[in-house]
Amino acid sequence: MADREGNIDAKDFGLGIPQKNGEGFFLKGNAHAPWGMKDRLSRIFNPKSGHSVMLAFDHGFIMGPTSGLERMDLTIVPLIEYSDCIMCTRGALRSIVPPTCAKPISYRFDVGTSILTDLNDQTLQDIDEAIRLNVSMLACMVAIGDPVHEGRTVANMSKTVDMGNRYGIPTLGVTAVGKNLVRDARYLGLASRICAENGANVIKTYFCEEKFEQVTNACPVPIVIAGGKKLEEKAALDMAWRAIDQGASGVDMGRNIFQSDSPVGMILAVRAIVHDGASVEQAYEMYQTYKSENQK
Ligand code: R5P
């Protein structure tokens, strides 16, 4: 049996050394994926920057109409054009997302319990539905450390990978929210790595203040960060900058964009960091300028 404590003392993260065996494809850990999967990943991640700004608005599937998502037709649709990819449920897709938006979809593929009961009791949808909706990635969450739901959610992700592989659709392993989530490098590194080892092509996890570069370095596939609860705009931009600086391949951000007082200004500022190497100051100025020029 592997050493349960082994991860505590892990220290040889090869910081600064690019991952090997990635020749021929720009996205970490996906050089050996088949053509269709590479095509889908190249729509989600910009092959020039290697990064992605995903706009997440799937929160309603566990939270209901949370702030900023009460009327997604009014608040989210105007933001879609500024994203590289949208992360949402089938209900949102069918009801408010114009099919003409032509954005790749990171599709909430697992469904389950809400914030009112016990989070993370999940099951999977039918792959036929994902194919009908022409999705580019299947998102499935994994509740590492949850004594009740860990095994089931790992099995869900493994099945998602199997179904995605059958049709050339990559899997996004999402490290779950819930009482077991610990925002430190040990937990996030362990949860991300377990998703990758079970076949996820991309991982969504959280940023942590210390040693985040260990999380990205120990994960053989790209990591995108969720934004988490709403922060002051400059703090959210600072988090995005530090995540990219420490090896993240993008953001899958929701509340820090759609709950901002200038959602378009904020997503433009995030884009500048993720794709153009803007500093936090430059990006914040971009947000402020957009906000002041577009105040009602
Ligand atoms: C949560 O229900 C979803 O998985 C979100 O997509 C994720 O948490 C990212 O959104 P936020 O940036 O608001 O945390």
What are the pocket residues of ligand 1 if the criterion is a CB atom closer than 6 Å to any ligand atom?
56, 58-59, 62, 87, 174, 226-228, 252-256
3-class state of residue 205 by DSSP: strand
User: Rounded to whole angstroms, how far apart are CA atoms 28 and 18?
Assistant: 9
CA-proximal residue: ligand 1, atom 14 (nearest): 228
For a ligand 1 pocket test, name from 55, 58, 79, 204 the mutation site with the most ligand atoms within 8 angstroms of its C-beta: 58
Q: Burial code of 32-56, b = ≥16 C-beta within 10 A, e = fewer?
A: ebeeebbebbbbbbbeebebbbbbb
Per-residue confidence (pLDDT) for residue 118, from 0 to 100: 83
> Do the Cβ atoms of 278 and 270 come closer than 8 Å?
no
pLDDT of 230 higher than 80: yes
Which atom of ligand 1 lies nearest, measured to the CA of 139?
4
Rounded to whole angstroms, the Cα distance separating 91 from 107 reads 11
Query: Which pLDDT score, from 0 to 100, does residue 182 have?
Result: 80
Catalytic one among 28, 38, 103, 204?
Answer: 204
In this structure, the number of other CB atoms found within 10 A of the CB of residue 188 comes to: 28
Reply yes or no on whether the pLDDT at 103 is more than 50.
yes
Q: What is the pLDDT of residues 1-54, one digit of tens each?
A: 455 555 556 788 989 988 888 888 999 999 999 999 999 999 999 999 999 999
174 Cα–ligand 1 center, Å: 10
Alpha carbon 45 to its chain's center:
12
Known catalytic residue at 204: yes
Residue 193 has pLDDT above 60, yes or no: yes
DSSP 84-143: SEEEE-HHHHHHHS-GGG---EEEE-EEE--TTS-TT-EEE--HHHHHHTT-SEEEEEE-
Ligand 1, residue 57: give the atom nearest the CA.
6
CA–CA separation, 282 and 245 (whole Å)? 15
Average pLDDT, the chain: 94
% residues pLDDT > 90 (the chain): 83
Task: Give me the helix-helix angle, 263-276 and 233-245, nearest 10°.
Answer: 20
Name the residue with the closest Cα to ligand 1, atom 2: 59
Phi, psi of 49 (to 5 degrees): -85, -20
Element containing residue 176 per DSSP (H, E): none
Helices vs. strands in the chain: H and E counts, helices first: 13, 10
- Report CA(88)–ligand 1 centroid distance (Å): 10
**CA pair distance 87, 140, nearest whole angstrom:** 11
Pocket test for ligand 1, best of 252, 253, 270, 274 (most atoms within 8 A of CB): 252
Residues 105-151 have pLDDT tens digits of: 999 999 988 888 888 888 999 999 999 999 999 999 999 999 999 99
> Ligand 1 centroid to 1 CA: how many Å?
35
Q: How many angstroms is it from 48 CA to the middle of ligand 1?
A: 26
Confirm if 150 and 176 have CB atoms less than 8 A apart.
no
Reported as type and span, the H/E element at residue 74 is helix 72-75
Query: Which residue has the CA at smallest separation from atom 7 of ligand 1?
Result: 226
Which residue has its alpha carbon closest to ligand 1 atom 6? 56
Point out the ligand 1 atom lying closest to the alpha carbon of residue 227.
12
- Distance from the CA of 87 to the center of ligand 1, in angstroms? 9
Q: How many whole angstroms from 229 Cα to the centroid of ligand 1?
A: 8
